[in-house]
Amino acid sequence: MPDEPVVIARRFNGPPGSGHGGYCAGSLAALLDETTVEVTLRRPPPLDTPLAVARRGAAVALMQDGEVVAEARPAELDLIGPDPVGTGIATAASARFAWHHDHPFPGCFGCGPERDPADALCLFTGPVGDGRFAVPWRPPDWTGDGVVAPAFAWAALDCPSSSPVHGTIDAPVVLGRLTVALEGPIAVGAPHVIQAWMERTDGRKRHTAVALYTAAGDRLACGRAVWVELARPLGA
């Protein structure tokens, strides 16, 4: 039987008119029976639009009018990062979120300051002061039935993974690739900490890492992201 088309509801937007990268990537990754998946976004995912599912060996893609929107494949992720901060330090870091004002995408499902926490993640990740960026997260009831659904776990890792890029450039960035390993169940309603850090810079690309921990410091998910600086108009 062919897969049902995937529709990204308008609620799950990132930049205006397109899907939130992490939520879209997680929705696609969920079509693979794998704990670690790499998703590459080829074009802005459209909202409220049926996207055909195309399976190609071990990979799977979302298609629109014959063009690839995103593709996912099984991956491996060997990630060793800095020790996690506690929830108190993460709360203090969140207060230093760079885009409480002048956010380039204020309606973003993941970190938009104009969104209501009743229907968006509102993850405002800020600097700890030592190269780590952190935010506390208590997954709301709508993220899953006792355990956070994979698409929301991916979404929760997305925007925090961009936080190390804030302040390093003066142009918006968009998610190009996200590789995530889901390592344990993320309990709805329980306190967690999401932490991110910069790994390297490659031209217009910023390579960052991110991880999600329990309040006790046990890692439940981790990921690597590639953020792409949007081209500036000529003369800008």
Of 228, 87, 100, the residue nearest 171 (C-alpha): 228
Question: Coil, strand or helix: which one is 155?
Answer: helix
How does residue 232 score in pLDDT terms, banded at 50, 70 and 90?
low
Q: What is residue 76's predicted lDDT score, i.e. its pLDDT? A: 97
Q: Do domains 10-74 and 87-229 have the same CATH topology?
A: yes
- Digit-coded pLDDT (tens) for 21-30: 999 999 999 9
Q: Helices marked H in 163-225 — which ranges?
A: none
Identify residue 76 by its one-letter amino acid code.
Answer: E
Contacts of 65 (CB under 8 A, 6+ apart): none
The 10 Å Cβ neighbour count of residue 234 is 5
Could you please state the CATH topology (level 3) that the domain comprising 87-229 is classified under: Thiol Ester Dehydrase; Chain A (3.10.129)
Q: Quick check: 18 pLDDT over 90?
A: yes
The verdict on domain 10-74 having CATH code 3.40.50.2000 is no
Sequence ranges of the domains in the chain: 10-74, 87-229
